[in-house]
Chains A and B, each alone.
Chain A
Amino acid sequence: MDDLLQEMIRPAGPSAADRARRRRFVASAATVGLAVVGVSSLTTSALFRDNDDAGVSGFTTGSVSISGTPVDEVITTDPLVAPGDTSYAVLDVLNDGSLEHRYAIEYAATNRNSAQAPADRPVPDLASVVDIGLYALPTGAACDAAFVASAQPLVPVQKLAAGAENVLLGSRTDGVQGGERTLIAGASEQLCVSLGLPIGAGNEYADATTDLVFTFFAEQTKNN
């Protein structure tokens, strides 16, 4: 009875079993709490991977821009250029946009009489007899006969065609058409152009000139 009364007057503290149970409860609560914290934005925003999708500040479109050295190559059958001669010219192509692009090349060839020809002479179609070749010029290489003799042409050597929008390399049509060249953003390259007057060109092509203008068409490669 005394034990019972003492228990009522001055209750005993928690038993060892109660303390043990409290420890287990606290440990369990802490474990579950850590699991919740672990999947919360508090920690997921502190640690991320470089393959995570994440919000991007602003949506910015890039640019496709190409600049090439326009070549008004003049071929004239004056005493300086004779049948059998070949002229060489370098085209500098620069991707000055922010996106990688592929590019195609077209040219426009315009025939005319040179100053030495009679004014009333019909303009000979000099372009139709001139051979054009296109080569990728490695850095430091010279665009000359020695290089062309050993280089692989980007396109088969072919006769020029008078008029505009003559395809030289690739195609201006959207998408990969075959033959286009690729330049990453900020990159540049040089192309070597050879223009040859065949040895069999007749006298009708004397004092004649063909003006060439090259046009570059560039499009982004990504998603295209």
Chain B
Amino acid sequence: MPFLPATRRDRRTRPVRRRARRTPPGSRRARGVRVALWTVVALCVGSYAASLLVPLYFQVQEQRLLIVVSGSMSPYIDAGDAVVMKQIENPAELRVGQVVSFWPQDSEVLQTHRIIRLEILPVLEQDESTGRMVPKLDEATGEPITRPYIFTKGDANDEPDPNATPVNRVRGVVLAVHPGWGAVLGWAHSATGRFVMLGPPLLILAGMEVAAVVQARRARARRPALGIERSQVDDLLFE
């Protein structure tokens, strides 16, 4: 055991409890600023997280959220609304009057309109001799090959849609409409929305880190030297 100076014997009987250094209490103003900044960070990040969780919530239930950008189904669905859509597994689930989302025959853009008629049409081929379209026959059974179609119309449109749509191009049936959700979620998921909602928190956090580094350096500069040489410590330790 190393020899300890007599003046420190008392201390040996009383273990010294070490506590972590406490940062000096900031002024009320500084604390308020930190609280405000952290509030901004929490609000922005929390809002963005909510915008991700909402569609995922529906996806977990095997549904999808569709943002409607056209007003052809007004007033039932307005542009900027979001609809909850469920994919259909069986064409027999379709009914006249249902609102469905589908890809029209002439487009790869999803459209949401109401079914006004369901019909089974024959698949046609041109008779080379007469030029007329005749039903195509199944080679195995000799029966005409048919295909189910939906005829649709937007509630706000005067005329039905020009083309019928095969049922296999129906994406899903609309279960519910949430007014205004589409505009909010669409913006949040856009590049602009991500930048606005996540950029400020990252800037704030970076700024707080820089401020902490500067503050730590200033604190070290102000701290007095201990007055103990390194060689003295080594001597005591390895004696």
Contact = CB atoms under 8 A, between A and B. Distances in A.
B163 A63 contact: no
A53 interface: yes
A99 B41 contact: no
Given A27-B45, A34-B45, A98-B149, A222 B163 contact: yes
B52 A38 contact: yes
Nearest to A44: B189
B198 A34 contact: yes
B52 A43 contact: yes
B168 A10 contact: no
Interface string A42-67: 11111111111110111011111100
A124 interface: no
A17 B166 contact: no
Interface in B66-100: 66-70
Contacts of B162: 99-100, 184-185, 221-222
Interface in B22-70: 22-23, 41, 45, 48-49, 52, 55-56, 58-59, 64-70
Interface residues of A, number: 60
Contacts of B161: 184-185
A3 B109 CA distance: 73
Contact of A31 (B45, B52, B133): B45
Contacts of A12: 18-21
A63 B133 contact: yes
B109 to A, nearest CB: 5
A14 B11 CA distance: 25
B202 interface: yes
A21 interface: yes
Contact of A30 (B8, B45, B117): B45
A7 B233 CA distance: 14
Interface in A95-124: 96-100
B124 interface: yes
A223 B105 CA distance: 12
Interface string B110-151: 111000010101111000000001000000000000010101
A21 B198 contact: no
B239 interface: no
B205 A16 contact: no
A34 B67 contact: no
B189 A43 contact: yes
A149 interface: no
Nearest to A54: B110
B180 interface: no
Contacts of B103: 54, 56
Contacts of A53: 108-109
Given A3-B18, A45-B59, A31 B8 contact: no
A4 B169 CA distance: 76
A16 B108 CA distance: 57
B105 A98 contact: yes
A222 B165 CA distance: 14
Contact of A62 (B16, B41, B164, B206): B164
A1 B18 CA distance: 13
Nearest to A172: B131
A49 B69 contact: yes
A15 interface: yes
Contacts of B151: 185-186
Nearest to A58: B168
Contacts of B69: 49-51
Contact of A186 (B119, B147, B236): B119
Contacts of A32: 202
A53 B110 CA distance: 7
A158 interface: no
Nearest to A7: B18
Nearest to A6: B18
B169 A47 contact: no
Interface in A62-109: 62-65, 96-100
Q: Which 10 A-B pairs have the closest CB atoms?
A: A100-B162, A46-B55, A47-B55, A16-B23, A46-B59, A98-B164, A185-B164, A63-B124, A12-B20, A184-B162
8 contacts: A15-B23, A34-B198, A38-B194, A62-B163, A99-B105, A100-B162, A185-B161, A222-B105
